[in-house]
């Protein structure tokens, strides 16, 4: 059906409630809005749904959540895994509680037990719960750091990672096969509980999750000695991190923790920020104000679902420095791997895992410690996939994994980014370096001296709607048709096309496969360890241009990064 026919069918169908119909009637004279809401079904991105809350097939609402869950239930049944159940978590966003409950009741109506958390929980705990409870899958209702009008629906598989092939395409096919909303199953909550198909979980999982995190502490004696000398400002940005982050810091020994009061409590409107992204300077305004009042050593911010951590650290002059996701990831990677080496020795098959858009400093760290460097596609699910491979083959030992978008995982208790364990580890690292007479900024500078002055950045262009999606595809195709030989004064040495599974050496013309799954991503290796990667976002209506350079000093790196950034912007302008 055409989008207008689908719109009319929603108005006529008694399945949809009166509030939904009134919302749709309010846009009856807005042709473009009707088209945006009904031209397509909301589709899976990185690992599920993410979209604007509202009525329509291309929006997040209880009907789309039920339909998606029915497809997931059908897939689980076909995998003969219905008896294992599904864990469900949700964050502080608008409609998160309702969406989680609707998903649980749909599963129950399909004979699949739902384990649903009693209140909001961080994404990494959902990942942990899937494996801890022996579930076949997990659902997390969150839109991470998106603006308040968004919500999402992430799907996890039995290994605790977000879905990867073949499960992602298999689930999506089942969701698409559900074409009649009237066929979607649901049931009464009391009946589901009575049937043993709806179980509320909470502290029983929390306690085991926190215990697993504490196993990753490398230097408890240093925490005991130096924790009282370290002051920490923390903000959960109105999300799920408040209770678990504060709990883990307190239980390992950090008492001087100051929580930003205006951002402490859950609030899906995120009233203190335009959007709750720890990558944004705006997210740290209140935290830095508090930090200066209490003379804090570090300022930490978790995003609403607490899988990503933003960091500011104070130097010896009292100046607070931003640690990007690449910087904090490298700092934690170096600390974690160095301490494993010191305490027990590094395994011969130890591996540091990063995504293709993550800094080349990770490669230098892996080389320094003589461990394997594994590169995978963007999305932490691919890092989780590598951990599963290690476990199933018996070859490879996970040491650390991270991506540039402020996410890492220490340990294998979860299979997704974990800002709670990262918070714990960063505080521990502060105590460790304090014992050496250093602060975390000193540690970062020492890494630059050792590995090189790497600097990485990103330029993003938002292109929403049908026209925006088409423009994103046209930019990528234009680059394929006319690949650049030089970018910002750097000569392109090789180019990778992950959609074609091809790497081309420009000097020899030799081609070889990327070795990674097909993805609409282009990558350019350039002289002097510079690089550029172009990919559409999996979670937002954006096309992203990631780039990195290597300088001879902090000032030189800043200058080179700025110049390459300007060249990237010029490239973008030429294609718009």
Q: Residue 51: enclosing H or E segment and its boundaries? A: strand 48-52
Cα gap 448→463, rounded to integer Å: 36
Cα gap 510→519, rounded to integer Å: 21
Question: In what order do the strands lie in the sheet containing 86-90?
Answer: 48-52, 150-157, 137-141, 86-90, 114-117, 198-201
Q: Which residue has the tokens 């409870």?
A: 133
Q: Which residue has the tokens 């088409």?
A: 470
Tokens encoding 500: 């074609």
Cα gap 127→123, rounded to integer Å: 6
What size, in residues, is the chain? Answer: 576
Residues serving a catalytic function are 144
Q: Residue 402: enclosing H or E segment and its boundaries? A: strand 397-403
Tokens encoding 531: 């690089």
Tokens encoding 166: 């073949």
Q: Residue 193: enclosing H or E segment and its boundaries? A: helix 189-194
Tokens encoding 391: 């476990």
Cα gap 29→32, rounded to integer Å: 9
Q: Which of 336, 332, 366, 339 is nearest to 352 (CA)?
A: 366
Q: Which sign does the torsion angle of CA 214, 220, 224, 229 carry?
A: negative
**C-alpha 338: how far from its chain's center?**
25
- What is the DSSP code (8-state) at residue 93? S
Q: Which residue has the tokens 């990237």?
A: 568
Q: Which sign does the torsion angle of CA 371, 373, 379, 384 carry?
A: negative
What phi and psi, each to the nearest 5 degrees, are found at residue 554?
-60, -45
């Amino acid at each position: 059906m055409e989008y207008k026919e689908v719109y009319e069918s929603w108005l006529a169908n008694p399945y949809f409630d009166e509030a939904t119909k009134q919302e749709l009637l309010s846009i009856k004279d807005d042709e473009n809005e009707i088209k945006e809401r009904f031209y397509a079904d909301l589709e899976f991105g990185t690992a599920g749904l993410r979209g604007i809350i509202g009525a329509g097939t291309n929006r997040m609402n209880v009907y789309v959540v039920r339909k998606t869950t029915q497809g997931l239930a059908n897939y689980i049944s076909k995998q003969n895994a219905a008896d294992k159940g599904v864990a469900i978590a949700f964050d502080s966003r608008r409609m998160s509680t309702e969406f989680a409950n609707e998903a649980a009741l749909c599963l129950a109506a399909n004979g699949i037990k739902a384990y649903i958390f009693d209140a909001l929980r961080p994404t990494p705990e959902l990942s942990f719960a899937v494996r801890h409870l022996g579930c076949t899958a997990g659902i997390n209702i969150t839109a991470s750091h998106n603006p308040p009008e968004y919500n999402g629906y992430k799907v996890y598989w039995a290994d605790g990672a977000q879905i990867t092939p073949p499960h992602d395409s298999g689930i999506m096919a089942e969701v698409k096969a559900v074409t009649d909303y009237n066929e979607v199953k649901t049931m009464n909550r009391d009946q589901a509980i009575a049937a043993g198909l709806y179980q509320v979980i909470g502290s029983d999982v929390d306690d085991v999750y926190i215990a697993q995190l504490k196993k990753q502490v490398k230097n408890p004696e240093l925490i005991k000695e130096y924790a009282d000398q370290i002051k920490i400002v923390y903000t959960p940005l109105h999300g799920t991190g408040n209770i678990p982050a504060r709990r883990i810091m307190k239980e390992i020994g950090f008492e001087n923790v100051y929580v930003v009061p205006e951002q402490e409590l859950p609030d899906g409107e995120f009233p203190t920020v335009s959007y709750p992204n720890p990558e944004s300077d705006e997210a740290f305004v209140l935290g830095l104000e508090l930090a200066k009042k209490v003379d804090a050593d570090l300022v930490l911010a978790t995003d609403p679902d607490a899988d990503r951590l933003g960091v500011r650290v104070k130097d010896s002059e009292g100046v607070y420095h931003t640690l990007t996701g690449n910087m904090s990831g490298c700092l934690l990677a170096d600390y974690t791997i160095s301490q494993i080496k010191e305490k027990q020795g590094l395994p011969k098959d130890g591996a540091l895992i990063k995504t293709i858009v993550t800094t080349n400093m990770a490669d230098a760290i892996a080389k320094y410690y003589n461990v394997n460097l594994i590169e995978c596609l963007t999305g932490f699910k691919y890092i989780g996939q590598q951990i599963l491979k290690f476990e199933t083959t018996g070859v490879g030992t996970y040491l650390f994994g991270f991506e540039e978008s402020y996410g890492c995982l220490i340990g294998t208790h979860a299979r997704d980014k974990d800002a709670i364990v990262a918070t714990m580890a960063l505080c521990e690292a502060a105590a460790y370096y304090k014992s050496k007479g250093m602060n975390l900024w000193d540690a970062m500078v020492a890494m630059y001296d050792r590995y090189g002055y790497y600097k990485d950045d990103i330029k993003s262009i938002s292109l929403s709607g049908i026209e925006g999606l088409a423009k994103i595809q046209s930019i990528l195709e234009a680059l394929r048709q006319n690949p650049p030989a030089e970018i910002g004064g750097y000569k392109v040495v090789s180019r990778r096309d992950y959609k074609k599974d091809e790497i081309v050496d420009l000097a020899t013309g030799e081609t070889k496969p990327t070795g990674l799954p097909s993805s609409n991503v282009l990558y350019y290796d350039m002289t002097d360890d510079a690089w550029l990667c172009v990919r559409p976002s999996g979670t937002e209506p954006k096309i992203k241009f990631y780039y990195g350079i290597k300088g001879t000093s902090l000032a030189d790196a800043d200058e080179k990064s700025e110049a390459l950034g300007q060249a990237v912007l010029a490239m973008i302008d030429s294609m718009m």
